[in-house]
Amino acid sequence: MLNNPRSIIAIVPAAGVGSRMGANMPKQYLMLGQQCILAHTLDSLLSHAEIDQVVVALNPQDNYFSQLPQSHHSKLTTVFGGGERADSVLAALDYVESINPEAWALVHDAARPCVTHQDITKLIESVNLHPQGAILAAPVRDTMKRSDTNGNIIHTVDRALLWHALTPQLFPVSVLRHHLSAALAAQVPITDEASAMEWAGVMPGLVNGRMDNIKVTHPDDLQLAALFMSQQ
């Protein structure tokens, strides 16, 4: 538990269309076992004792979310997201700051259904060591290569101290909102919340997370996620 418990509000950007999946619906609504990907993700967040609220950023034309049982949960709120992930996160942060500016935002990908309560708790408790905020991450295990534009190897990259960034990522709401907004205004490429904090000079902490916390991006990932969930 945190030494100074604060409100933890999970933010789930779910306004994307997931074009790389080649499906006829946004990837977060593809079935994974008995329910869709997003439903599994929300179950993990809504059932965690230290998460006070879950805010989902949706596409204004979303016709699927209201059909989920989780959409009626007392801890869940929705806002309209934007064209990019960062825009959706910022829209959710705007809402959260208006109701609880002292809260911490735990931002998690809609398409990471395999996240465990243990990893979420580990990230929340890391605030004692990383008061600036932290992210779940996994050390790079494979040999890394850098290529040229023609697909030829230029050289091998030293994997020591390299990490795969995962989610959730946990930062103070007001600080993250300020830096994310400024980075977007400066047209800085923002791939995750940590990149906005890094741009502002903050050094987020790294919390070693499980490698099975995968993001469903391609069709093959669905079978892999199903396998991981069956083993958890």
Per-residue pLDDT tens digits for 192-218: 999 999 999 999 999 999 999 999 998
Task: Estimate the share of the chain in helix, then strand, then coil, as percent rounded to the nearest 5.
Answer: 35, 25, 40
Per-residue pLDDT tens digits for 150-184: 999 999 999 999 999 999 999 999 999 999 999 99
What sign has the CA pseudo-torsion 25, 218, 32, 8?
negative
Indicate the pairing of strand 205-208 with strand 31-32.
Answer: unpaired
Q: What is the pTM of this model?
A: 0.93
Tell me the one-letter amino acid at 156: T
pLDDT of residue 3: 42
